[in-house]
Amino acid sequence: MARVFGWLWKRWSDYQSVVAILDVLDLKTAVGGFLSFFGMTFFGATNMQWSPPAVLLAGLTAAAVVSVTLVAFRIWLRMEPKKHTAKQNEASVAPTAPLDGDIDARAAFFRILESSQWRADQDVATDPKGLVYDWREVRLSTEIHNYLRNGQLAAWGEECLPGTASTPRKPIPPETWDRVAIHFDRSSAPRTAAHFRGRTSRAQGPMAWVGIQFSSAQMFDLYPLRRNQIPNRISSVELMKMAIRLGWNFSDQHSLELIDLQDAIRQGALDAQLTVWGKLNRWPNAPQLMQKEVLEKIPAEHFKDYRINLFAALENDNFHTYTWHILPSSSAEKGYLDLHVDRSEAANWLRLDALAFRGRTTTQTRV
């Protein structure tokens, strides 16, 4: 019997290695079970006053059964995990929801233009001198079309057919953007359209697609929106320097453009196009206390009754810029002092809305 076990052991050792055999059979588990159950059975059979051969046979039988059971269970566990692991992997990897258009292309465009990190980065890194007034719109439109053409941004829409018909809504192939472009304007059209490219960058051909949408998840992953951003405030002195770089004239003693700028700020603040901060005039007769006051965002409604005075900023004195209201007694009441505005808003506002006020005040119209 010993020779037989020795021969088997040698043959098993020749099959790859002893380590592999022990790993498959888990010898420690089998030997442990064998000894444990042999001891328990031997002790129990002895107490029952069995004959020595019967005790030995019972112990060997019980231990052998347990060892075979343990080894079989271990082998089963090694075979079963393949199925178990596959199921577990399927459960652990959630299926990715397919992209779908859920936001109008123009709506996404102007959200990015107005409140994205891209917008903030452009304002900091770009010197607009010599650029077209809508350089941000042009730059953002170019970037978006590059993403569309290279398949990095998906789009959906209805392809226009001859006449007034169009196809059902479907994905727009990337190669389409070689011939077609979206015109991101602020028109009142209910849906965004794309036209065949014209001979120049601003010319439009016939309409090619209508009802164009982007995936908001994909779009705002490319252009993250700014949330709870820290206000980038600048003083009125700095605002006037920005205006001077754009051609405003405040140095000529006969120029009335500072009055125009004051009127423009008032309108922009009332329209919520320009955020204005100031120190609420809690201590009219205590300038030292007012110096220590904090800047507060001035409500838009404030500018219905209050005007703006920036003349102190001509002397680089921002603290004495203020909003004021004419009381029935003809005395001026100051509302907020030390006026500041948002840099990004101001940069865009000066190139757009403020231009309508420049040159409006004349010696005849000055109040």
Say what percent of the chain tops pLDDT 70: 70
Rounded CA-CA distance 14/134 in Å is 81
Say what percent of the chain tops pLDDT 90: 40
Residue 209 buriedness (CB in 10 A; 0-12 / 13-18 / 19+): buried
Whether the pLDDT of residue 27 is over 80: the answer is no
144-176 tens-digit pLDDT: 999 999 999 999 999 999 888 999 999 999 999
* pLDDT for residue 228: 59
* pLDDT for residue 10: 61
* pLDDT for residue 6: 61
* pLDDT for residue 186: 73
Instruction: Give the pLDDT band (50/70/90) at residue 16.
Output: very low
Rounded CA-CA distance 359/254 in Å is 12
244, amino acid identity? I
Mean pLDDT (whole number) for 44-48:
62
* pLDDT for residue 69: 75
Whether the pLDDT of residue 15 is over 50: the answer is no
Query: The whole model's pTM is what?
Result: 0.42
Q: Return the minimum-mean-pLDDT range out of 201-210, 241-250, 256-265.
A: 201-210
Instruction: Give the pLDDT band (50/70/90) at residue 21.
Output: very low
Whether the pLDDT of residue 81 is over 60: the answer is no
Q: Return the minimum-mean-pLDDT range out of 50-59, 106-115, 118-127, 300-309.
A: 50-59
Residue 176's contacts (CB-CB under 8 Å, 6 or more residues apart) are: 208, 209
Q: Return the minimum-mean-pLDDT range out of 10-14, 119-123, 153-157, 340-344.
A: 10-14
* pLDDT for residue 58: 67
Virtual CA dihedral for 251, 252, 254, 258, nearest 10 degrees?
Answer: -30
Residue 29's contacts (CB-CB under 8 Å, 6 or more residues apart) are: 70, 71, 74
339, amino acid identity? L
238-251 tens-digit pLDDT: 999 999 999 999 98
